[in-house]
């Protein structure tokens, strides 16, 4: 079975890991690219505008289309994620 990092690198460029402590918040923002994100530890809830919140745990994956406004709230145990910019379909 491929690791999360291997799976992400197979479908995205500019991959990196980040983490935040419990309760960290991200204000609503957007990206000009299709964002792919995997949670590797802890939890985070994404709040895409116009959609229901998406609570994520280790192993979960989310894909956020370009220009989609979204915010996020880190869970009580903090979070570690890997994310990247999805490659264009070939």
For residues 29 and 1, the model is more confident at: 29
Supply the pLDDT for residue 70: 97
Which pTM was predicted? Answer: 0.91
Domains of the chain: 4-86 (2.60.120.10)
Q: Which residues contact 47 (CB under 8 A, 6 or more apart)?
A: 28, 53, 54, 70, 71, 72, 73
pLDDT band of residue 1 (cuts 50, 70, 90) is low
Whether 2 has a pLDDT exceeding 90, the answer reads no
Percentage, residues of the chain above pLDDT 90: 90
């Amino acid at each position: 079975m491929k690791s999360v990092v291997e799976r992400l690198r197979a479908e995205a460029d500019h991959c990196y890991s980040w983490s935040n402590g419990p309760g960290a918040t991200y204000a609503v923002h957007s990206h000009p690219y299709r964002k792919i994100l995997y949670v590797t530890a802890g939890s985070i809830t994404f709040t895409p505008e116009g959609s229901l919140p998406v609570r994520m745990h280790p192993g979960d994956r989310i894909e956020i289309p370009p220009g989609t406004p979204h915010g996020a709230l880190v869970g009580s145990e903090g979070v570690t994620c890997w994310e990247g910019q999805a490659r264009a379909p070939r």
